[in-house]
Structures are given as C-alpha cells and as structure tokens.
Structure 1
Amino acid sequence: MNKNVLCTSLLACTASLMLGTTASATEGGLSSWPMGIEIYGMGILPPPGTYGQVFVGNYLADSLRDDAGRKAADIDLRATTIVPRFVWVTEQQVLGGNLGFHALLPLNDIRLNVKNGPHDHKRGIGDAHLGPVIGFHHSEKLHSAVGIDFVLPTGSYDRDDLVNLGNNTYTVQAVYALTYTDPAGFNADVRLMHDYNFENRDTHYQSGRELHADYTLGWGLGNGWVVGVGGHAYQQISDDKCSASNCASAALVDANDGNRGRSFSIGPAVQYTGEGWFLSAKWQDESGVRNRAEGQTYWLKFTMPL
C-alpha cells in the first residue's frame, strides 16, 4: 500500500509529500506493488489452464515517517482495494518450466486526512499489472517461478491532488518466487522483486529502484489448514531524482539523501485448501519505516480454476 496497492500501490494513493515539506520515499511515498499482498503458495504456478484470483485488502495508517524514522505528520489514511487477477498457464515449456501469463487491475477506495490540514477521497481503478511467468516444479514440495511484470499508468492522476488512484509512471518489475509446501509440516514462501521506475512526465520526478519481498512461514496441520506468520521487507536502493530545474521536489531529494524508503511488516497468516480452491488471510503491522506512511494491512486471497 503506500504501500501500496495500499497507500499501497496497486492502490496508488498519493499521500504525496504532504504539504510539500515532508519527506517521502519514492514519489509520494508509494510503490507499484502492494507490500505483503501475496500469502501462501506464491511460488507455485498451477497446472495448465485458466485461474481466477481475488485479493481484498484494507490499509490503515496514522503517521508519516521521515528519513530518521521520526513522525513527520499525523494522518488518517484508509485505503481499501479489491484486486481481480487472471492467470493463464499454457502447455508451452520454456527452460523446463511452464509458461504462463497474468494480469490484474485494482479497484480502490482511498481517503486521506492530514491533521490540521487538507483531506481528499478518490474511488476508481488503479494501475494495471501484467506479464509473463515461468513455473518450475522441482519436487512434490519445492516449487519456484520467475517472471517480469509491467505496471501501466491506467489509474487517474493529477499532480495537484492530495490523493491519486495511479502513480502516472511505468514500472518494470523482475520477480523470483520460491515455495516449500507440506500439507502436514513446514511451509515457507518468498517472492523477491526488483522495481525500476520510469519518470513521471507530469512532475519530472523519477523514483529510485526498489528491492522488496513478500514472505510467509507456516505449519500444515494435515487437514487443509496452514497457520503461521507473514509480511514484507522493503528497501529502496537508489535515490529519487528530479530532472526539471523547477521541480518542486528537487530540494527535498537533495536534503534527504534521495528519500530512500524502508519498511518491514509481520503478522499472523492462515490458509485453507478446499477441493481445487484456496482461501488465505493475513494481518501485518509495519515497523522500521522510513520516508513512508506507517500502518497496518489486512489481506484476503481467494484462488480457483475457471
């Protein structure tokens, strides 16, 4: 959210440099990926066929943190998203794995109030994600997937608004996911992502490169249930830039050493496997936040064949 899809990103809520005086990692403190959205099974590409997924998330934040982790502003941010995702796994083999494709388009409702300051509310579609993926099944329990995602600026954007439904920039995201699953034992998942953000042409602002991961750890109870913990880890690895001489954010970029963001979250996670379908849930609380909003996220994920 800011994090998008919550102040997320699939969500893309521009909690923007709050009144122009507060530091934010990446433009508006946002990322193209909703941190921690994935739960169990994130490295498993299913057998050839078509599949539908629905993610439902709610992000709540009450503070914006600066580059030292201090509270920079009191806010009331509430971002709710419904994210339908379509997955098509082909019979085509590439490097020994199955070739697949996916696409998603978030539907967002974002409210932001700054204490003793402005407020805004937006509702509508966010930025679309799509791309190819190759899935490998190394054994009955160990699976992995590699892919590349393209984020398209399909959400509405106005540089003068406090909240936006899209980031108004293209992003290319490299992905590697790994899953170890045991219905009656240890389970572990990680999805590693590296984001390259292109320039926002309306503001001439280019957010830095981002390295982040969704993760879960759990224990299978042998009856379809897996219980454990999950969350995300995020670190911006290059500075934000502003190419225009009159860019309003240029001074902030210089003053805050590139506005590099950081965050970590953890919380309980659970999954139930039915006859050909999966339902997962997770709650995660953020800590160690730099240059971003700090809050809590609830996620639900439902998967079934079409």
Structure 2
Amino acid sequence: MKQILKTGVVLTLCLKAFARRTFSIGTLAIGAFSISAFSPGIVTQAVATEGGQTNWASGVQTIYPALTPAPGQTLWQDYFVVNPNGAYSSTSRKSAVPGFRATAIANAARLFHSWHGEFLGATISSSAILAINSLTLRAGGQGGTAFGANWLYLAPLYLSWHTPKLHIYLGEGAFLPIGSFSKTDVVSESTHVFGFNQEAALTWMPTKRFDVSAEGELQINAKNGATDYKSGNVINIDFGANYMLTPALPQLRLGLNGFVTSQFTNDVQNGRRVGDGNRLAKYGLGPQLIWFFKPPYAVALKWQHEMGVQNSTRGDRYWVQFQIPL
C-alpha cells in the first residue's frame, strides 16, 4: 500500500558533497505501502543526510482505492514492485550523484478487514501491512546491499461510504520502523522513521465500462533519532482511470495511472535547514491492466515512468498486485 515507495525507491543518501543542497465487488483495492519501505538508508562514513525518503509509495493507490472488503470479510492484498533507478536528481541537477545506480525490489503484504456494523452510515475497516525490501546501491564510488523488513503500517480505523456509482474512503495510519538501521552502513534495511499518514480516496463508476479514482495522502514524518534528521512533510496524489475494452471480455480493463508528489516543509538536521530545504518533487505516468477472476480475486500489472524529479531517485516502477479472500 505508500510510497510508496522521497517515493519510488526511496533512499537515504548523503548529498552534501554533490547537491545542497513508498475488495469487494470483485475489484482490486490498492493499499498504502512505501517503496521507501523497500529502500533503506544510504549514507557515507562522515554524514547521514536523508534525501528522497518517505514511508509511502507514490503511485500505489491507483486502482479502486475507495473500495473496501464487505462487512465480515478479510482480504489479503499483495504489492510487489521492482524499481530500477539510474540517477539521483537534486533541485538544480538532473544527475547529482556521479555513478549512481540503485535497484529496489520490494513486497508489501496487507491484511484488510471490514467489521460488522456501521458508524454514521459508513463501513468500518482496519488494516495492517508488512513491507520487506531488497536494495542494491552504488553511488560516489561506494556500494552495498540490504535485505529485510522495513516497517509495519497499522491503520486501525477506516470509514467508507458506498453507493452503486460513488465510493468515498477516509482513514489514517502509522508507520512503525522495524528493520535494522545504522548510520555507518552504506545501505540499511529500514528508514528508521516513524510516520503518520492521512488518507482520503474517491472511486467513481459512472458506467459499467468506465471508472476513475484518486487518493490523496498527507505524510507527517518524525525525526530519525539516529541521525537527528527530520524529513519534511509530503502531499501525494495517486490517480487512475480504467476502461472495459469490450463487453465480450468483462474481466479485462485497461487504464492509465499516475501520481504527483510534493514536499511542503524543509528537511532539518541538527536544528538547521538542510541546504535549500531538500524538498522532494516528482510525478509519474503509465499504463495499467487489471484482470478479474471470480470476485473478489483479481490481479493487476502497471508501469510508471518518473518525471520532474527533484531531490529523489529517478527511474521506472514495475508493479504486480493481487487480491485474494481469506
């Protein structure tokens, strides 16, 4: 489910020397997990700044985000992503780190349950996500690998309202870092950052053959106690639109998906602003394909190309997502 996944393969990187400065009705509801969950901390021996890091994966909530399990139902939703990155872009330079290469492979498993009963006419749901990542990095003449758990995302309360054509979803959750982290390692398993995430989503199905969705997330980051570094807060919007190509094949939908991510407060370390603020910005766009088996079984493939990147990794994201009932 973010950043998601600052999003994409989110990396904690020392940049001072280079740039001042992550279902019901048979639909596949995409949850919140972060590619940053897959991407750990990247540091040098002297300093551990944290550019390009979030606990939400931008672009994960592009497929029916406002749909929830039926009351009493539990779903397993799984998100697998491969994120090769060929550059790290600063505010002013497209390739700010010489020799930068990084590949993140990550998986997040989500348990999503809806409870019996309602509150203010809303379905009540809860969710838990475990993110595991594998990262390979080379930058500035250094390199390293890491594999393990990054964080556990707990979202005890979601409220959702549903009509035949319109679905609305509100919720909040917390990222709890559980993997190992060392400020002296080139690569670490975990971001080592506690975070709060507020979600709001909408899915509209005006016809049986067309649908459009969007989800916004507000990400509030705590300080990394090991490095005295506080990443700025981030707003992210994921979106997607799908179309049934022919009624003769109702299981198949083809669509367009993307995201826009913007950091709105500065990064701070040791009580001082980092460089020019080290604010992340990026957006992505690409196709997605969804195949529905017998409800609520579904699988989705999608690709996102990252553009307009500032203070984060730059590359492509290749997703496989599926859902099964438990």
TM-score using structure 1 length: 0.89
2:56 counterpart SS class: coil
Structure 1 residue 87: deviation in Å?
Answer: 0.5
Structure 1 residue aligned with 2:116: 91
Residue 201 of structure 1 corresponds to 225
Aligned to 1:168: 192
Letter in 2 for 1:113: R
**Structure 1 residues 76 and 19, CA gap change in structure 2 (3 angstroms):** farther
1:225 equivalenced with 2:252 (yes/no): yes
The counterpart of 1:273, out of the listed 288, 292, 315, is 292
Change (3 A) 1:174 1:36: same
Matches within 5 A, 1:5-84: 7=11, 8-16=35-43, 27-48=50-71, 49-73=73-97, 74-84=99-109
- Which of 312, 316, 326 is 1:292 aligned to? 312
Q: Where does residue 265 of structure 2 map in the other structure? A: 238
Unpaired runs of 5+ residues, structure 1, are 245-249
2:280 — aligned with what?
Answer: 261
**Equivalent residue for 1:121?**
145
Taking the aligned partners of 1:9 and 1:199, their CA distance within structure 2 comes to 16
Q: Distance in 2 between matches of 1:218 and 1:239?
A: 36
Could you list the per-position Cα deviations for residues 217-266 of structure 1 after superposition, in whole angstroms to 9, with x for gaps in the alignment?
A: 1212331211111121100011111235xxxxx5xx4432x111100000
Q: Percent identity?
A: 23
Residue 302 of structure 2 corresponds to: 282
The Cα shift of 1:300 comes to 1.1
CA apart distance, 1:201: 0.8
Aligned AA (2:7): K
Matched-pair contact (CA < 8 Å) for 1:267–1:282: yes
2:159 corresponds, among 122, 126, 134, to 134
Q: What residue in structure 1 maps to residue 136 of structure 2?
A: 111
Distance 1:235 1:97, change over 3 A: same
1:59-116 C-alpha deviation (Å, 9 max, x unpaired): 01010001125310131111001111101110131221111110111121110012x5
CA contact (8 A) 1:4 1:13 kept: no
Shift of 1:183: 6.9
Deviates more, 1:167-176 or 1:12-21: 12-21
The 1:78/1:218 distance shift into structure 2, 3 A limit, reads same
Deviations 1:190-231 (A, max 9, x none): 110001111111111111110001211121233121111112
Q: Distance in 2 between matches of 1:101 and 1:163?
A: 32
Paired residues in the alignment total 292
Distance 1:262 1:98, change over 3 A: same
Partners in 2 of 1:184 and 1:264 — Cα distance?
Answer: 29
- Counterpart AA for 2:41: T
Deviation at 1:12, TM superposition (A): 2.9
Q: Structure 2: which 5+ runs fail to align? A: 12-34
The range that moved more, 154-163 or 53-62, is 154-163
Matching residue's letter, 2:220: Y
Shift of 1:19: 8.1
8 Å CA contact retained: 1:61, 1:76: yes
